[in-house]
Amino acid sequence: MKPDRERKIRLFEQMLLMRRFEEMVIRLSTEGHVLGHFHVYTGQEATGAAILDLLQDDDLILSTHRNHGHIIGRGADPGRALAEIMGRVDGFNGGRGGTLHLCARSAGFLSTSAVVGGSIGLAIGAAYALKESQGDAISVAFFGDGALEEGIAFESLNIAALYDLPVLFVCENNSGGAAGAAAGEYPSSEMHAKQLIDIPGSLGIRSEIIDGADVSAIQQTVSGVLAGIRARRGPVFLETRTERWPGSRPLWPANLTGFTDLSMAWDKSKISGEYAAWIKNDDPVLLLAQELVETENVSQATILEIDQRVVEQMSSAREFALDSPLPEAATALSGVFAGKDHSGTPSRSSH
Amino acid sequence: MAYKTYAEALIDALYQRMANDADIRLIGSWVLGLGPQRDLVDRIKDDFPERVMDPPASEAAVATLGIGSAMAGARPFVDIGTASFVFEAWSQIVNEAANAHYMSGGQISVPVVFHMLHGLRGGGAAQHSHSPQGMFWNCPGLEIVLPSSPRDVKGLMNAAIQSNNPTIVLDHAKLLGIEGEVPDDDDFIIPFGQADIKRQGGDVTIVATSLMVQVALEAADAMSQEGIDVEVVDPRTIVPLDKETILSSVEKTGHLVVVDEANISCGIASEISAIVAERAFASLRAPIIRVARPDSPVPFNAVLEAELTPTSEKVQAAVRKVLT
């Protein structure tokens, strides 16, 4: 099923929210509000938005260090997400997790693990629990191409296939282009397989390669496989390919392509500079805006209105996050075990 | 003597050992992590390109690549990166490397070095801040090295690379930038199992390792303003451990504070406290105090992280308490 006009507009707004969110994260970092290293989802918005849009409320999601887009794309509050990235008490994790570990359980997230390949293993566990339950919920694992370098990927894929576990594996391959070791940067994916999907394919897992910047292609494929996963007929593996965003430098993200100017979607003459090729050919947000205007009869004004709404939403999110206090030092040891209140006294007898 | 950073001294030693011994291989070249000193590794990559491998993110296989090649006669130096990642290779190091010599009846030796950056680095959160030295200490068969100064890292790296046993070298991420005097001799070696008295004193013994040595020295300087004379003992290697230097110091001062960034339970502070309690109980004039990280995962937020971090102030408070 390809998305219709209204759905595409909705997906566009979700993608734009992810984009404006990451632009805000980088801005807050530049202003000194973000501690430590972080990873952004810029350039991969179409993948997250298109897949999350097709999921049920009771599906469970596992993500990685590059989780921001997944969290807010699933409808979790961007203000609380920003607060967590700044370590504030109103963050999803109360400031304990930070950017690498944003976890919104109410939105179906069990973990965003920074252990490479971690989400793959946890997702088969979630799927195992879901398979035993009565419903048709599934688990979804988001991970990067580098995760397949870890042994846990193979072990988990094998178990998922053996037991027909209801899990959708989404390998977001952002290693396209010249990034990685060849450019003298942090080593990117190093996998001696002709195709990444040959790895799950060798275990008999249905596997597909999709253009990760094309919401229609993604939704067509995903909607075609979800019913089988929900019917417990076995896992499915998707490789979604995107060109790496130039600002996703390995050491520290930098907004090299600038604050996204949506008018570039219909006025290509505005695109220039060192990163023009990515902006013109690979920016999924601009590509969808262009499609909406050119083939779906959406006015430029409508696009800009959506943007205004998103920018205002991000502005409130920023305000909410900056207003949120830092946690009290005295709470540092609360929350190590379940079933205890903040003073460390058992709130119910679980031990 | 030259004045160098810890990172420079570390790389000098690695470079020189690779220059001297063609069997040494570097598996994983991000020895200094992603910090500002990372380019210091470049001269190793430039001068010995055929002996440097940058493997995929496959810690378990990479560990056994090191262990298996060491069993077969190579001398690999394996960089794990952030110490938290070593858990991916835990079985290989604990079950294979640590056991091989004993289990083979002495036929097999495993001259591999595993290098990693440990510790609280500010915003690392729970999956990038581990100090697994106590866990390693629970695995007989591993030598464990915890340098605390530019001088020591040079001498200890030289010893680690020449050791015929599986050796864990843990550098604290926050030590890489500190400066100090380093002997010029390329072959300068600090033999394992020789503690160093980093500061002489008669009132209280502080035993500390890695970055905590620097924290203890800072505390000792502050205490001297109050007329309290602190001795700082740095074991430098915990396997083998120079128990005699620790015990002699405690016999002299009668008071012991142990400072450790690992969790307080089953950490370095626990074991050293137990040894002193067993063997120098009669010399102790007050109960031993451990200053270590409370038993909790590491929080992301800076306020919470600071609350759990052993600091000079916390060490000073412990010294005052042990003397009252």
Give the pLDDT confidence of B77-88 residue by residue, as tens digits.
999 999 999 999
Give the pLDDT of residue A237: 98
Q: Is B172 a catalytic residue?
A: no
Structure tokens, A194: 């002709």
Q: Give the domain-ending residue among B182, B204, B234.
A: B182
Give the pLDDT confidence of B178-200 residue by residue, as tens digits.
999 999 999 999 999 999 999 99
- B238 found inside a domain: yes
- The answer on B222 and B178 residing in a single domain is no
Residue B124 reports pLDDT greater than 90? yes
Give the pLDDT of residue A190: 75
- The answer on B176 and B88 residing in a single domain is yes
- B187 found inside a domain: no
Q: Give the domain-ending residue among B142, B160, B182.
A: B182
Q: What is the largest CA-CA distance in chain A?
A: 67
Structure tokens, B30: 């991000």
B101, B115, B118, B128: the catalytic one is B128
Range of the domain at B135: 2-182
Give B112: exposed, middle or buried? Use CB within 10 Å, 0-12, 13-18, 19+: buried
Give the pLDDT of residue A189: 64
- B191 found inside a domain: no
The angle formed by the CA atoms of residues A20, A24 and A26, to the nearest 5 degrees, is 120
Could you tell me which of B231, B290, B282 has the C-alpha nearest to residue B257? B290
Is the predicted ipTM greater than 0.85, yes or no? Answer: yes
Residues of A with CB under 8 A from a CB of B: 35-37, 87-88, 93, 95-101, 113-117, 146-147, 149-151, 181, 186-187, 189-191, 250-251, 326-333, 336
Distance CA A141, CA A151 (A): 16
DSSP string, A193-210: -SSTTHHHHHTT-EEEEE
CB contact (8 A) between residue A35 and residue B302? yes
- Tracing tokens 């990067």 back to the chain, one arrives at A144
Give the pLDDT confidence of B200-212 residue by residue, as tens digits.
999 999 999 999 9
- The answer on B239 and B121 residing in a single domain is no
CATH of residue B79: 3.40.50.970
Give the pLDDT of residue A344: 40
- B250 found inside a domain: yes
Closest residue to B301, CB basis, from A96, A151, A189: A96
C-beta neighbour count of A165 within 10 angstroms: 24
Number of folded domains that form chain B? 2
Top CATH class of A5-257+299-323 equals alpha beta
Low-confidence stretches of chain A (pLDDT < 70) are: 176-189, 249-250, 340-351
- The answer on B164 and B67 residing in a single domain is yes
CB contact (8 A) between residue A336 and residue B56? no
The predicted model gives B249-276 an average pLDDT of 97
A interface test, pick of B52, B303, B307, B311 with most A CB neighbours within 10 Å: B303
CATH of residue B202: 3.40.50.920
- The pair phi, psi for residue B141, each rounded to 5°, is 115, -10
Could you tell me which of A26, A11, A44 has the C-alpha nearest to residue A243? A44
- The answer on B291 and B212 residing in a single domain is yes
Could you tell me which of A213, A207, A278, A199 has the C-alpha nearest to residue A241? A213
Q: Are A321 and A87 in contact (CB under 8 A)?
A: no
The angle formed by the CA atoms of residues A320, A323 and A329, to the nearest 5 degrees, is 120
Distance CA A46, CA A286 (A): 11
- The answer on B205 and B103 residing in a single domain is no
- The answer on B160 and B277 residing in a single domain is no
Distance CA A260, CA A257 (A): 7
Residue B47 reports pLDDT greater than 50? yes
Beta strands B237-239 and B143-145, pairing class: antiparallel
- Helix (H) / strand (E) containing B144: strand B143-145
Say which amino acid occupies A347: S
- Helix (H) / strand (E) containing B272: helix B268-279
- B189 found inside a domain: no
Q: Enumerate the domain spans of chain A.
A: 5-257+299-323
Give the pLDDT of residue A193: 82
Within its chain, how far is the Cα of B320 from the centroid? 27
- B311 found inside a domain: yes
CB contact (8 A) between residue B296 and residue A331? no
Give the pLDDT of residue A132: 87
The predicted model gives B223-231 an average pLDDT of 97
Could you tell me which of B134, B129, B164 has the C-alpha nearest to residue B146? B134
Q: Are B202 and B298 in contact (CB under 8 A)?
A: no
- The answer on B91 and B65 residing in a single domain is yes
Give the pLDDT confidence of A238-274 residue by residue, as tens digits.
999 998 899 986 578 889 999 999 999 999 999 999 9
- The answer on B258 and B136 residing in a single domain is no
Q: Which residues of A211-228 are buried (b: 16+ CB within 10 A; e: fewer)?
A: bbbbbbbbbebbeebbee
Q: What percent of chain B has pLDDT over 90?
A: 98
